[in-house]
Structure 1
């Protein structure tokens, strides 16, 4: 189906067309009709599945646009608040609908002034509750959305959320979205929603099939060298690197800048102004690499991220799904790359089993492979280059001293400096080493099962032997459209 089949208001459909949206994602396809019917819903879907549009578009369509706060969206982090605000403003601009964001670290007076002119309020729980308790705002929203509810639970906001709802009108439409459904979230849904309909994106849709997932096995001391070599080979247009700690983000951003990359870090200890500057520069293409922690990147919505790199694996499969969901968005293809040590091998296998994704083991490209790829790219670039008048003059001047072949060799020598590759020739584990790790891991699981152990997991690496015997030959992918999977289920409460 297409978005036009929802029969939205003309000006809303105009915004959808301007945004380039054609076909709804699975969560949008299932949630939008239910929300338009005025029902409460519980939507279980991960970041990157199009949740903001799933609740934002039908709410915008039903709003009266009477210059008062008609809708409230509660989110766990300030970054997600800004992202949701940008998205809803983009869709609501032709309806003359303004948004206001409320989060800690900003002055009350400035935020209150924005609220006066807003129809949609996007807020983090702490600051929003402060405004309600102190009676700084008095609102009567018809629509209330809880986004990333499980994340708010993990961050300790559950009591704040419960108190917030004591200030909100009983007559409202409430929408709750969460990637997972722990018991505390189920109980919250029972207390704040009215006969909700449950909409769930099934396990098979957790990892985007348009994302190519690979991993490389290296020793701990080789992580930096492996990362630089992979960047040299893959040459990503826009990428995010995930680290586990703030300290690692700072160290790695300094290192990459020293290597000539346009990179900045993003983590919770940075000042709000610095964080906003980094996100805006990344979104506008002024920054090619963003290095972030999981919490800082929660809700980061940039459609043209070509690659995601896991400098370290996350501690759980849930975080892995959130990370790689930053690429392969809006129908485009993406690449997710993980750098793994032998000690983390079990974790990568656990991730594969839990997510149902196909993670392919590969070896770090050698200097020759990278140099050959760079050279071939340079040759193609030269072939496609138009000849400018200034270039003709340079060649004519040089012909007074050199023959045309010598001129060509000199110019090619200047250009070929871009094909220089740093580091050791061989980085990381060989094909033989990786196969041995797979075999040892499988043997260990068989031994565990024979002893009645409970450990285990899928060892079905996609074409493991043939794939691990090939060198990495992937390149940047361009966007392609595809219809969303229909493997979903929906049930009434």
Structure 2
């Protein structure tokens, strides 16, 4: 589907965003999704996956409809996402591109169910939410599945992880066989591809429709647009090393990843005590504070955000110059998603690992697996220097 095939209102919106050329994933996937194909696709972080599925669905379901106004008064699109932050970002893109008068609704746990039911009475075109909340609303017959034409699993590998697989599976089983299914992630391993393919066959969604799996060639963002540094430190000294690094580097915008909520809170409290302006963001953070933290970080009024892996998935925050990983998960996908918050949209960035012996042993494995060059660094007299120079 060429750019000229889009409705003029979509083309104008693309111009406003200075989007003139499709990314490789958009060029590859948009025609398939526009044709109604079930599409499972993998592409690196920062390559434009959200618009790759949103634009053709908006074009086909809204602008190509016999009666666009009537279509916009029915829930035609469901999008499942693993975090509220990612879902909010998707909702913002939808609101930007759908025709005037179209409504969207965000549905997540932690927000009053009654308010979301009231929101559904306004007949949103698209509902974006967690699998369990979408499923709950379907079971309550508040979402009319007969009207749904397409469903998207954004960050599909996370949605089919051990923690979320049951709800995601039942959600798909609750939808009519006529729906079009799309799934995407920066990491879509073979076992996830196989499980999704099985689900489409089991639910009948595959019947009568093509299913395409598209694994886009690596654009080497991880190796060419992101520089990787490693600082060795004992576990007890990680926060002090982080503080000294922030003072030495003075990053324009730094996203700091911790292993869990407890470490996130402890690290943010330590930095605040040392007079570093920062916010903490994790799954247990109050929703008002979560929004405040993200808004201030996005605007640049706060340059440091400390988070759990809540923010690793899919978030596109402009201007992140440094990602700092305070320890590593054994799952290399976490490393990729974290690092991919910088070096986006043609920009460069720095990914830093502050780790003990165990962390750096894992990092050496990731270096080999992804073909990276890791530069050992140290801090000397308030500056970042090569570890070889110390």
Tell me the secondary structure at the aligned position of residue 349 of structure 1.
Answer: helix
Structure 1 residues 208, 277: closer, same or farther in 2, change over 3 A?
farther
Q: Deviations over 1:368-399 (max 9, x none)?
A: x47xxxxxxxxxxxxxxxxxxxxxxxxxxxxx
Aligned length: 372
Paired residues of 1:208 and 1:328 also in contact (CA < 8 A)? no
Distance 1:177 1:35 in 2: 12
Cα pair distance change 1:135/1:209, threshold 3 Å:
same
What per-residue deviation string (whole Å, max 9, x for no partner) do you get for residues 57-110 of structure 1? Answer: 111121224222121111122222112112222233x55432211111111232
CA contact (8 A) 1:71 1:144 kept: yes
Any stretches of 5+ residues in structure 2 without a counterpart?
63-67, 201-205
> What is the alpha-carbon distance in structure 2 between the residues aligned to residue 159 and residue 335 of structure 1?
37
Tell me the CA shift for residue 46 of structure 1.
Answer: 4.4
Paired position in structure 1 for 2:14: 16
The equivalent of 1:197 in structure 2 is 212
TM-score normalised per structure 1: 0.70
Q: CA deviation at 1:151?
A: 0.6
Whole-Å separation in 2 of the counterparts to 1:189 and 1:70: 22
Is the Cα–Cα contact under 8 Å of residues 40 and 214 in structure 2 kept in the other structure? yes
Distance 1:126 1:266 in 2: 22
Where does 1:409-448 land on structure 2 (aligned, <5 Å)? 431=387
Matching residue within 296, 300, 316 for 1:285: 300
The alignment partner of 2:21 has SS state of coil
1:188 equivalent in structure 2: 196
Q: Indicate conservation of the 8 Å contact 2:75/2:144, yes or no.
A: no
Shift of residue 55, structure 1, vs aligned partner: 0.5
Q: 2:151 corresponds to which residue?
A: 144
2:136 is aligned to 130
Change (3 A) 1:313 1:6: farther
The answer on whether the counterparts of 2:327 and 2:359 sit within 8 Å (CA) in structure 1 is no
What does residue 105 of structure 2 align with?
A: 100
Change (3 A) 1:200 1:206: farther
CA shift, 1:180, in A, is: 2.4
**Contact residue 223 and residue 371 of structure 2 kept, 8 A:** no
SS at match of 1:364: strand
Match of 1:451 in 2: none
Provide closer, same or farther for how the CA distance between residues 162 and 222 of structure 1 changes in structure 2, counting only shifts above 3 A.
closer
CA contact (8 A) 1:266 1:297 kept: no
Alignment-derived partner of residue 225 in structure 2? 210
Mapped to 1, the partners of 2:132 and 2:304 lie a distance apart of 31
Per-residue displacement from partner, 1:320-375 (whole Å, max 9, x unpaired)? Answer: 100011111122211111112234332111111122222222222423x47xxxxx
Change over 3 Å in CA distance of 1:32–1:6 after alignment to 2: farther
Q: Partner of 1:485 in structure 2? A: none
**Is the contact made by 1:206 and 1:355 (CA closer than 8 Å) also made in structure 2?**
no
Report Cα offsets for 1:385-432 as digits up to 9, x if no partner.
xxxxxxxxxxxxxxxxxxxxxxxxxxxxxxxxxxxxxxxxxx9xx84x
Partner residue in 1 for 2:32? 34
Tell me, in whole angstroms, the C-alpha distance in 1 between the residues paired with 2:219 and 2:301. Answer: 35
Q: How far, CA to CA, are the matches of 2:240 and 2:167 in structure 1?
A: 45
Equivalent of 2:182 in 152, 175, 188: 175
Q: Per residue, is there more strand in 1 or in 2?
A: 2
3-state SS of paired residue (2:279): strand
Paired with 1:325 and 1:107, the residues of 2 have a C-alpha distance of: 33
Offset at residue 240 of structure 1 (A): 0.5
C-alpha change, 1:223 and 1:164, in structure 2 (3 Å) is: closer
Structure-2 separation of matches of 1:137 and 1:4 = 33
SS at match of 1:363: strand
In structure 1, what is the equivalent of residue 160 of structure 2?
153
How far, CA to CA, are the matches of 2:320 and 2:20 in structure 1?
20
Partner of 2:124: helix, strand, or coil? coil
Q: Is the 8 A contact 1:176 1:189 kept in 2?
A: no
Q: Distance in 2 between matches of 1:239 and 1:4?
A: 37
CA distance, structure 2, for counterparts of residue 155 and residue 102 of structure 1: 21
The match for 1:410 is none
- CA root-mean-square deviation: 2.4
Matched, 1:58 2:56: yes
2:116 matched to 1:111?
yes
Does structure 2 retain, via aligned residues, the 8 Å contact 1:101–1:121?
Answer: yes
Q: Give the conservation status (yes or no) of the 8 Å contact 1:142–1:172.
A: yes
Aligned mates of 2:167, 2:253 — CA distance in 1? 37
User: C-alpha distance in 2, partners of 1:218/1:42?
Assistant: 41
Cα deviation for residue 32 of structure 1 reads: 1.1
Note the residue ranges of structure 1 that are not aligned, 5 or more in a row.
371-426, 432-467, 472-493
